[in-house]
Structure formats: structure tokens, C-alpha cells
Amino acid sequence: MGSLPHVVEDCLGIVQVFSDGSILRSEDINFPMEVQDDGSAVWKDCLFDEKHNLYLRLYKPRSPSAAKLPILYFFHGGGFCVGSRTWPNCHSCCLRLASALQVLVVAPDYRLAPEHRLPAALDDALTAVKWLKNEALLSKSGGGDEWLGDGVDFDRVFILGDSSGGNLAHHLAVELGRGSPDLAPVRVRGYVLMAPFFGGTVRTKSEAEGPPEQFLNLEILDRFWRLSVPIGNSADHPLANPFGPSSPSLESIELGPILVLVGGNEVMKDRIEEYSKRLKEMGKDMEGRVCASAALGTGVRPRPHGVGRARARRHGLSAAVCLRPRPSPCPSAAVRPTGGRGLPMHARGRCLPSAHALVAVAFHHDVFRQHLQNSF
């Protein structure tokens, strides 16, 4: 009599892979936070990929202050294995972004690993931006979604991604920099990568010395990569490591303006700093900033119910979640225009947010908003 299937990979108790290859994804997740909605923004869901039944969520200010709203894509994090536009942290983030920045936020879901390994997530991200092109073309003839008519500016689109979403933002910058797909009349003006989830088989100092009790420690990050890269590949896969041994050169690609943010306590800090350094050495229009004594990220630590909850406690997951700013030293940071194409943002010595919901709002609020509302 054979042995019963047993768990061989466990992602935070939310996704479990068994020895027989079966996968169990918990839909019963306890979030130690509620949606923070002050009523200043409204939202709705739209199907953008019928084949894979993928939805995105649109957000806009209840009372727009501009005739035309810039468009801000938000790609959630989760190591390519967990996360959704519907999670309270993501939903709260997008509500606040729409209201405080006076933008139309587009928050797509994408297929998750290990059921759908890379490049599925990137394919879905590309589909999501091509969806916007189709809506822009339809709007010219009076068709398309009513939220994407005369009240939005398809010429001012920005892409923001957190963690694995930051990885997607990088690869979107690369794909669009190559000119494929052609998004006209949509124009992407810049990218914000928040603690982008990159990998590699050679450990950096911050990875090797990162505290194992940290929520997103090296063990968990390695597990995410094992479950998300194509089978038989490592964290040096080109979609994981932009500068891996088989990764294509970025030298000749015209990347749009890029801002990279990483917390001083991030396990991936050194890897992300190296990414920023190498792009800058190539002459790319980018700026990288480390926020001292902080870790950027979703700010929420979901807990599965039942057995998974006990496992989460063993992993040291905390129910303590804060979407408010907390004091933390952070250098003043600015992205200055290069040749008139810059993505100006400025940190004015404010509190560093403990969640991505506030990074572009409280941390880079004034100049980012001004930039979004002014044409180049």
C-alpha cells in the first residue's frame, strides 16, 4: 500500500503542493485588516481576458479635480504565487491612490503559480495593457467602457508594481521599449518598481545575512521562485534575474523613466540596488532609492483558517498590520527629468509608509500628482 500524498511545498499556508503533484489553494483566508474606504473613490470590476477569465478593477475619484485623469496601472505583489486585486491591502491601496493622486487606477489580476508558471503572469500583464489600447480605440468612436471615455488621458499612463508586480513593471518596460506591442494611442510615461521581486542563484550580502524570522525571508523567497519559474529552471531564469547568464542585454532597449524603491531592511535590498546601479551605468533614465530602516511591501500578512493558521504562526506571521505612515528616517529622493522625459517625484522628509498604499501618496505625493496632471 502506497503512502498518502504529503506536503512538499507550502506558501504561507495559502498554497500547498503535494508529493503526487496536486495543488491545494485555500480560498478561506483570514485578513487581519479591513478595507479602508472613506468614500472618496469609486470602483468597479471589468473582464479583460475572457480566455483565462481574468478581471481588473478600475478606480476613480468620486469628484475628479481635473477634466482628464491620468491612468495608473497597479500590479499587486505576492511572489507570483499569491495575491489578488480583491485582497483588502490591494483594494485599500488603489482606493487611496485614485483619490489622493486624482488618477484612474487600473488593477489587473494575473494567473498565479504554481498552477500557471511564468511567463503566464507577464503574458497577462501584456494583455491588460493591450486591453487599454483597445478601450482607447473604442472611445474614439464613442464605444468602450464609459469610465474610459473623454474623462481620461490615454497619453499619460504610468505603471506601478509591488514585489512581483514590480518585476512585471520591469518586463513591461522592456517589452514596450522594444516597441512590441504598439500601444498607440496609449502612451506609457514612466514606471515605479516597489521592492521588485528579482532573483538569482548567487546570494547577495543582504540575502545571505537577512534575519530568518523576517516575514519575507530568504526561505520563502526561494520557495516562490521554485514554484513560479518554468520547471527545470532556477532563479537565474531571465524573468527572475534581469542580469542572469541567459538574460538578454538591455543596453540597446529604450526604457522609459523608472523609479525603484526598496526598504532598508528588505532581504532583496542589495539585489535591487545592483539592478538600479546597472541600469544607471547603461545610461537609462532611472533613479533608485533606499528608504532606511524600513521594508516596503503589501503591509498585510494574510492567514489561512484552520490548520493553515497554526502553520502561519509557526512561520512567524503576525496579525499586526498598519496602513498608516510610521516614522522612519528616509533620505530626500527625487527623480529628475533627463532630456525632458523624467518622472519627477520627491520625498519631503515625511513618514515612510509601512504599506505600499501610501508610498506614492504620502511619500511622493505632491510632485507625483503635479507631474501626472501636467502634460510633457
Would you identify the CATH topology of the domain 31-372?
Rossmann fold (3.40.50)
- List the single range of 3-12, 69-78, 183-192, 211-220 with lowest mean pLDDT: 211-220
pLDDT bracket for residue 263 (50, 70, 90):
confident
Asked whether the bond before 185 is cis by omega within 30 degrees of 0, the reply is yes
Contact 238, 248 (CB under 8 A): yes
pLDDT attached to residue 289: 85
Regarding predicted confidence, which is higher, 84 or 342? Answer: 84
Average pLDDT over residues 74-99: 95
pLDDT attached to residue 368: 41
pLDDT attached to residue 135: 98
Average pLDDT over residues 189-205: 96
**For the chain, what is the mean pLDDT?**
81
Measured between alpha carbons, how far is residue 284 from residues 8, 12, 268, 312 in Å?
42, 37, 21, 41
Which of 54-63, 92-101, 311-320 reaches the highest mean pLDDT?
A: 54-63
- What strand order describes the sheet that includes 41-49? 41-49, 54-61, 104-108, 69-75, 152-162, 188-194, 258-263, 286-291
**Which pTM was predicted?**
0.82
pLDDT bracket for residue 335 (50, 70, 90):
very low
Residue-range domain boundaries for the chain:
31-372
Asked if the model's pLDDT at residue 24 lies above 70, the reply is yes
